[in-house]
């Protein structure tokens, strides 16, 4: 199981030097406490600098009226838009002069202890002006961690190595670990320069306090995230040789692992556990280290020892499921993580692991359309703008109707000729049902929509949700609960009358380059919405099940596997439906395999991926799905 920054965050939070080993002091504030613009509207028209100057103009008006708190809000908004803006910092100096407490009381946390990022940064600058440097550095560190893409530290002229003699090393160590635990490991290269002032101060602090072990290992954690691996290793090694603390060993092993020294890390951590067998976190770390090398059973042994000592350990059980997934590639282990989260919603490591493990079609994203029609569309869009161009194509065999729907979303006057309809006829539902969205007139090879256009509000709601990727199927199901109040007729209408992408950059990219993926994505989310229709009805006799089954076994189309995915996503979260969903998905997949013997089935690979993503899938069907995917890969090689 790869060990990434999410695990280190939890690991390092557990050893927060504010608490001491095993303590329970003040909880580190999370990146979520620093949010957007606190509900304030920008006084500009979209350009950050222009908006910032507009905010400062409003701040001056408020100051003229003696409204200091109102002025402070506008200054915070200006800093949020352009953290380094000189005029904003000049306005902070005015607040220092006008406010009786130097202005720090103008920026206070809300009732939950959170603060708007601009306000927290303003308070940091004002605290520095008042000589409260430990608090100022702490505030600025949290803001920088919450918004690593903004130059918060670079905007602080007071944050220089000359500050080191005025900082308390214990307080600075707390700032380093609390900042580090919310940063990516490593921080994206384009953002690392934003943290250089912190790194320079850390170096000055380490030079001033060379024997401060906690400062060294927390500094190692911070420098590792900036990819300064040689320094990070040196600092952790110095901390380890000085104090022999578990925390220093964790940091040293972590940076060694990043530099390919897994064997040294294993030896170090195994030795530490001989002296500290009670450290269950390190049992998990070592187990995952071994699993990463393919030594799955050895790794599980360490993790299971932690579970024996504490069956409720928040990381051990999730880690065991994660290692088993890496070893077996059986979706049952991912679903076990979801079940664990349902029982223990506060165990965030389970969510991190399942989100990290899910990749590929259906587990992580919508399957890419593979029809000849969509391939042709992609080539046409490389040469022609979407619009009313007169284009026509002849297909040797009929393809799913949604593929043509996607083409015509880009080229409304697109003409299509179909030479044959191989057996089994994809126009004919494999099960009789009461719900359908496509129908063919006798002898026709062009489907017509059965459902009418959706209500504009429902189309807009689906468009807002439509994203071709998700953390995992259960997450997609949860997100779609926002469609629970939509009328069934409208959700069915979305399937064949999909809304156009919005006018965002991503929406324009869909319209210009990937109209087929957009249609696919909209249909998936509409079906997820159907999965929430009358959710209080017991599954077996529910209308939502009846609709999804009819769509899955109806005319062969993208709607078919979208409906199946909605059932699979439901099964990830609802154990009682798993056997039924596994039977339905397995039946539909085997049906496609049989059809593939005599004709092309463009959904075959997608259905195979769905079978592998389905909880409680029949083992023989799972093996058949793996075989199908191998054969398809060989054919395309």
Question: Are 554 and 436 spatial neighbours (Cβ–Cβ below 8 Å)?
Answer: yes
d(CA 478, CA 492): 20
- Indicate if 412 and 561 belong to the same structural domain: yes
Chain centroid, CA 110 distance in Å: 27
pLDDT, tens only, 567-625: 999 999 999 999 999 999 999 999 999 999 999 999 999 999 999 999 999 999 999 99
Q: Mark which of 302, 329, 357 sits at the end of a domain.
A: 357
* Radius of gyration of the chain from its Cα atoms, rounded to whole angstroms: 29
Residues 276 and 384 both lie in one domain: no
In this prediction, residue 3 carries a pLDDT of 39
Domain extent for 279: 261-357
Is residue 416 domain-shared with residue 476, that is, in the same domain?
yes
Same domain, 334 and 395: no
Q: What is the Cα–Cα distance from 72 to 62, expressed in whole angstroms?
A: 9
Confirm if 225 and 179 have CB atoms less than 8 A apart: no
DSSP code for 310: -
- The reply to whether 353 and 387 lie within a common domain is no
Question: Does residue 26 belong to any structural domain of this protein?
Answer: no
Given the structure tokens 């009789």, which residue do they identify?
A: 432
Classify residue 483: in a domain, yes or no.
yes
Q: What is the pLDDT of residue 467?
A: 96
Q: How far apart are CA 51 and CA 81, in angstroms?
A: 7
Number of folded domains in the chain? Answer: 2
Domain assignment present for residue 271? The answer is yes
455 lies in the same domain as 419: yes
Is residue 404 domain-shared with residue 546, that is, in the same domain?
yes
Q: What is the pLDDT of residues 83-140, one digit of tens each?
A: 999 999 999 999 989 988 888 888 888 777 778 899 999 999 999 999 999 999 999 9
Pull the structure tokens for residue 375: 């391939």
Report d(CA 637, CA 624) in Å as an integer: 20
Tokens of 595: 């059809």
Q: Tell me if 435 is assigned to some domain.
A: yes
CB 611 within 8 A of CB 589: yes
Instruction: Please give the average pLDDT of every successive group of 10 residues along the chain, which has 637 residues.
Output: 38 37 30 40 63 94 92 94 94 90 85 84 94 96 93 94 97 96 94 96 97 97 97 98 96 97 98 96 97 97 97 96 96 97 94 94 96 92 86 94 96 94 96 94 96 98 97 97 98 98 92 96 98 97 98 98 98 97 98 97 98 97 98 90
Contacts for 185 with CB less than 8 Å, ≥ 6 apart: 4, 5, 8, 224, 225
Last residue of a domain, one of 307, 330, 357: 357
Domain boundary among 315, 333, 357: 357
Determine, yes or no, domain membership for 155: no
521 lies in the same domain as 553 = yes
**Residue 441 neighbours by CB distance under 10 Å:** 9
SS3 313: coil
CB 95 within 8 A of CB 106: yes
Q: Are 430 and 553 in the same domain?
A: yes
Flag whether 68 is in a domain.
no
350 and 379 co-located in one domain: no
On whether both 468 and 431 belong to a single domain, the answer is: yes
User: What CATH number is given to the structural domain containing 351?
Assistant: 1.25.40.10
Angle at 9 between CA 137 and CA 313, to 5 degrees: 135
pLDDT for the residue numbered 24: 26
Classify burial at 601, counting beta carbons within 10 Å of its beta carbon; exposed 0-12, middle 13-18, buried 19 or more.
buried
Q: Going by DSSP bridges, is the β-strand pair 438-439/448-449 parallel, antiparallel, or unpaired?
A: antiparallel
Q: Look at residue 270 and tell me if it is in a domain.
A: yes
The verdict on 573 and 431 lying in the same domain is yes
Q: Which two tokens stand for residue 167?
A: 């900082």
Would residue 91 count as lying in a domain? no
């Amino acid at each position: 199981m790869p060990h990434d920054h999410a695990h280190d965050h939890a690991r390092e939070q557990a050893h927060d030097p504010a608490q001491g080993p095993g303590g329970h002091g003040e909880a580190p504030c999370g990146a979520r406490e620093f949010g957007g613009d606190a509900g304030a509207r920008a006084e500009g028209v979209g350009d950050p600098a222009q908006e910032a100057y507009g905010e400062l103009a409003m701040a001056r008006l408020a100051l003229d009226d003696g409204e200091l708190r109102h002025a402070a809000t506008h200054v915070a908004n200006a800093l949020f838009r352009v953290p380094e803006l000189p005029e904003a910092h000049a306005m902070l100096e005015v607040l220092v002069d006008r406010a009786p407490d130097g202005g720090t009381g103008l920026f206070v946390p809300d009732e939950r202890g959170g603060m708007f990022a601009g306000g927290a940064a303003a308070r940091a600058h004002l605290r520095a002006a008042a000589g409260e440097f430990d608090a100022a550095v702490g505030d600025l560190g949290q803001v920088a961690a919450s918004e690593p893409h903004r130059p918060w530290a670079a905007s602080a002229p007071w944050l220089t190595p000359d500050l080191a003699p005025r900082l308390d090393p214990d307080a600075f160590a707390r700032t380093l670990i609390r900042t580090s635990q919310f940063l990516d490991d490593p921080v994206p290269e384009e953002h690392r320069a934003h943290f250089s002032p912190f790194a320079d101060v850390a170096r000055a602090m380490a030079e001033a306090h060379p024997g401060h072990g906690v400062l060294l290992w927390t500094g190692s954690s911070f420098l590792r995230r900036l990819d300064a691996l040689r320094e990070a290793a040196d600092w952790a090694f110095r901390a380890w040789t000085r104090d022999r603390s578990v925390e220093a060993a964790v940091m040293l092993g972590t940076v060694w692992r990043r530099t390919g020294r897994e064997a040294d890390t294993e030896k170090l951590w195994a030795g530490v556990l001989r002296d500290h067998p009670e450290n269950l976190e390190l049992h998990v770390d070592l187990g995952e280290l071994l699993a990463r090398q393919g030594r799955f059973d050895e790794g599980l042994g360490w993790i299971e020892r932690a579970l024996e000592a504490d069956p409720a350990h928040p990381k051990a059980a999730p880690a065991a499921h994660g290692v088993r997934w890496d070893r077996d590639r059986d979706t049952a282990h991912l679903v076990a993580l979801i079940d664990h989260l349902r029982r223990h919603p506060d165990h965030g490591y389970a969510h991190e692991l399942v989100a990290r493990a899910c990749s590929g079609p259906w587990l992580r994203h919508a399957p890419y359309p593979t029809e000849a029609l969509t391939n042709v569309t992609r080539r046409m869009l490389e040469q022609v703008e979407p619009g009313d161009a007169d284009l026509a194509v002849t297909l040797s065999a009929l393809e799913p109707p949604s593929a043509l729907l996607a083409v015509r979303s880009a080229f409304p006057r697109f003409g299509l000729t179909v030479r044959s309809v191989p057996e089994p006829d994809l126009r004919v539902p494999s099960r009789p049902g009461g719900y359908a969205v496509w129908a063919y007139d006798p002898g026709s090879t062009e489907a017509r929509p059965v459902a009418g256009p959706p209500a504009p509000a429902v189309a807009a709601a689906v468009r807002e949700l439509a994203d071709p990727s998700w953390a995992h199927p259960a997450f997609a199901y949860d997100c779609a609960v926002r469609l629970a109040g939509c009328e069934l007729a409208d959700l069915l209408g979305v399937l064949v009358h999909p809304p156009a992408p919005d006018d965002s950059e991503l929406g324009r990219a869909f319209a210009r380059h990937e109209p087929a993926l957009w249609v696919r994505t909209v249909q998936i989310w509409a079906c997820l919405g159907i999965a929430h229709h009358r959710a209080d009805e017991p599954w077996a006799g529910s209308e939502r099940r009846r609709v999804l089954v009819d769509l899955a076994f109806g005319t062969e189309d993208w709607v078919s596997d979208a409906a199946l995915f909605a059932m699979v996503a439901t099964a990830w979260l609802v154990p009682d439906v798993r056997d039924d969903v596994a039977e339905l998905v397995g039946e539909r997949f085997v049906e496609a395999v049989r059809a593939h013997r005599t004709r092309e089935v463009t959904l075959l690979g997608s259905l195979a991926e769905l079978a592998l993503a389905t909880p409680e899938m029949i083992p023989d069907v799972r093996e058949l799905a793996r075989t199908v995917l191998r054969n398809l890969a060989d054919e395309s090689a």
